[in-house]
Structure 1
């Protein structure tokens, strides 16, 4: 199993603190965090003693603790804890907290309040990866383990899609944090290309899996099947006859998921699927003279990091409803040129975009496959860490630790 080593921060520029989160010891951690219910806490300028008497659980009600926080305040406090602490510690405090944490309203409020990160996995050893995220200005790195035989192909709201192989392919959805897993209906998978992706339809609060199946090398006879989890018992094929034959080649690529949309990219075409309506639109790529760069999910939209000069990067964003591209901002990597020289690699070959952190404020990229650097495009703060036993560019996937499960 590989590990993560943190490199010394740059001396010429300020650096963000890095925290390596080891597996928590339940007894010790619980002792520290459960004490929150026994202390006076300030929330939005209010002291617990200034709040009208209320009880967060039956145990406190029996003891008539007038300084106990009402459930509404406890609800808001728990939203600010990381999902791992809420799941491993807070839900064990009492039955009332556990009931609150398991409610759909808390789960999705917590999801909306959570910080998105990026999964990094080794192609040669996908069972053990890491999860990188920014928490209150601090770069945190956690172990990420799914037990999958292959790298995570798709992630949505904390759920990941996996394919296992016994006597036949088995497709399942899993929450790596809670370890909950559900097997999906089987589907015959033959051909040149097979790909599965997971997306969320906010209007119906349902999750859908989209399967692209190419019968020929160039996608001419490609089919797309859709399964609404917990609704459909069999896969449904959707009509793609309106897509031009040259554009169908894009379906042979792995899609990028942004919110309720999926994007297949190839050549001069982008095929964008509205997962709610299950209709696929054909859009052009950004209007640029040269296409040196990489497409990355950026929140609910698709972004393109364009290399406009040796150090300058332009960030484009696409409107998934209209296909219109706009330039969001530009950032300069020249302050990192000394690091590129220390690594003895050419600037043109150094920057491999991996994803966005902190809502698109922090750029994560790799150098020489094993060195990862975060760069705050606003403050120019940097930090770096090393991936051991990585001989290729790491596989990256946007992700968020959450309590979400399928109901």
Structure 2
């Protein structure tokens, strides 16, 4: 059984009220007030704190490893928008992931900051990130999952995922695309959510509705199967007959919800799971139809919620919406984007003959839209909306996965 050593707490709580006696008295040789040392250390990146700063003195080590400091460091990092993207490549020769932070306005060095984070010494894929903790799936034994902090190199293994106990792996294969890592603020715990379909081999068709399972890290002994409401289950079963249109597919985990999307012509629907209550809700995506024609769309993560990018005018215009009310399926337009200008800039960069295929993945508060372009291998870009400029990231490879991420000092321990 494994639990988290550090408590996150809610961001709304005042730091001073939560930690009135947060410091061990500082040694006289330090020469600085304890509160000032605490505040200065909060501004230092997590990787530097863990690998260097905590070894300077006993006092600094006690401060940096205290649960209160770790909680405050996460809050400061998130509030100051020091998060970036965690980029994962399968089978990378050095077995590392990359933490990427783009330059911000006013930076003395207008270059990308790319930090290598070593993954565990086995083949694995990153399936999600939350508060600096990442969900890992074993590449070979795909029913094996782990939660790790790639900065502190702490890791905990979860029980094997049960799949479908009554189905033979000789006749069936399983979809692993419905994996999400989220956080329940009501119990201050992290949850892994998996929705999977069994497919008849060679036919790529499913006779069984998707099943949704959840595991609460530090609480559950085994995976728990969730009950999917009848209305959602019927919709899921219909989409499962066409593997291209699966609602429990490529989930987005943000703001205490896990979201899936699917198509039931002429509308696009979504299914949301409230991570706290573990209840499902069906909703309609932003205005994806016009005169009965379904427009192409991408579900993306915003820093505070769910977004969708919808194409208009033959793909020359992208419109970004944010889901502002799940219950009423209310979407609010954020911005219109000149897609033709983006595609032409990427075409020139890649020196391709035709317009490239792109997939938006993340939109950040500093008005940067991140996306992948994949003619043969994947290239990562972001579009700076203020400057109307495409910026390539100095990384490329096949099957890139990218997640909102912030490096933290949150640790796991066995008990």
TM beyond 0.5: yes
Distance 1:185 1:372, change over 3 A: closer
Structure 1, gaps ≥5 residues long: 1-54
- In the other structure, the counterpart of 1:294 is 298
CA displacement, residues 37-86 of structure 1 (integer Å, 9 cap, x when unaligned): xxxxxxxxxxxxxxxxxx98543x2x4x6xx3322222222222221112
Q: SS at 1:151's partner residue?
A: strand
- In the other structure, the counterpart of 1:245 is 234
In the alignment, the residues of structure 2 paired with residue 363 and residue 235 of structure 1 have an alpha-carbon distance, to the nearest angstrom, of 36
Q: SS at 1:99's partner residue?
A: helix
Q: Which moved more, 1:230-239 or 1:126-135?
A: 126-135
Distance 1:168 1:215, change over 3 A: closer
In the alignment, the residues of structure 2 paired with residue 214 and residue 371 of structure 1 have an alpha-carbon distance, to the nearest angstrom, of 30
Measured after TM superposition, the shift of residue 167 of structure 1 is: 7.7
Q: SS at 1:119's partner residue?
A: strand
- In the other structure, the counterpart of 1:307 is 311
Q: Which moved more, 1:187-196 or 1:149-158?
A: 187-196
Distance 1:189 1:277, change over 3 A: same
CA displacement, residues 272-306 of structure 1 (integer Å, 9 cap, x when unaligned): 00000000111112112343232111113111122
In the alignment, the residues of structure 2 paired with residue 72 and residue 99 of structure 1 have an alpha-carbon distance, to the nearest angstrom, of 14
- In the other structure, the counterpart of 1:121 is 88
Contact 2:125 2:137 in 1 (8 A): no
Contact 2:175 2:198 in 1 (8 A): yes
Distance 1:73 1:197, change over 3 A: same
- In the other structure, the counterpart of 2:54 is 91
Measured after TM superposition, the shift of residue 165 of structure 1 is: 6.8
Measured after TM superposition, the shift of residue 206 of structure 1 is: 0.7
In the alignment, the residues of structure 2 paired with residue 270 and residue 345 of structure 1 have an alpha-carbon distance, to the nearest angstrom, of 35
- In the other structure, the counterpart of 1:326 is 332
CA displacement, residues 211-247 of structure 1 (integer Å, 9 cap, x when unaligned): 2232454474322222211111122222113324123
In the alignment, the residues of structure 1 paired with residue 381 and residue 139 of structure 2 have an alpha-carbon distance, to the nearest angstrom, of 35
Contact 2:137 2:146 in 1 (8 A): yes
Distance 1:253 1:71, change over 3 A: same
Determine which of 240, 253, 258 is the counterpart of 1:257: 253
In the alignment, the residues of structure 2 paired with residue 377 and residue 167 of structure 1 have an alpha-carbon distance, to the nearest angstrom, of 42
Contact 1:145 1:176 in 2 (8 A): yes
Contact 2:383 2:390 in 1 (8 A): yes
Indicate yes or no: 2:155 matched with 1:192: no
Distance 1:75 1:169, change over 3 A: same
The alignment covers a number of residue pairs equal to 345
Measured after TM superposition, the shift of residue 324 of structure 1 is: 1.9
Distance 1:225 1:372, change over 3 A: closer
Determine which of 69, 74, 95 is the counterpart of 1:111: 74
Distance 1:276 1:338, change over 3 A: closer
Indicate yes or no: 2:386 matched with 1:378: yes
Q: Which moved more, 1:284-293 or 1:267-276?
A: 284-293
In the alignment, the residues of structure 1 paired with residue 148 and residue 378 of structure 2 have an alpha-carbon distance, to the nearest angstrom, of 28
Distance 1:231 1:73, change over 3 A: same
- In the other structure, the counterpart of 2:19 is none
Q: Which moved more, 1:313-322 or 1:366-375?
A: 366-375
In the alignment, the residues of structure 2 paired with residue 219 and residue 200 of structure 1 have an alpha-carbon distance, to the nearest angstrom, of 32
Distance 1:335 1:168, change over 3 A: closer
Contact 1:340 1:350 in 2 (8 A): no
TM-score by length of 1: 0.75
In the alignment, the residues of structure 2 paired with residue 219 and residue 182 of structure 1 have an alpha-carbon distance, to the nearest angstrom, of 35
Q: SS at 1:318's partner residue?
A: strand
Q: Which moved more, 1:175-184 or 1:153-162?
A: 153-162
Distance 1:82 1:58, change over 3 A: closer
Distance 1:69 1:380, change over 3 A: farther
Q: Which moved more, 1:197-206 or 1:243-252?
A: 243-252
Contact 2:24 2:63 in 1 (8 A): no
Distance 1:161 1:393, change over 3 A: closer
Contact 2:363 2:370 in 1 (8 A): yes
Q: Which moved more, 1:337-346 or 1:276-285?
A: 337-346
Measured after TM superposition, the shift of residue 404 of structure 1 is: 1.6
- In the other structure, the counterpart of 1:146 is 119
Contact 2:383 2:389 in 1 (8 A): yes
- In the other structure, the counterpart of 2:411 is 405
What is the root-mean-square deviation of aligned Cα atoms in Å? 2.9
Distance 1:89 1:167, change over 3 A: closer
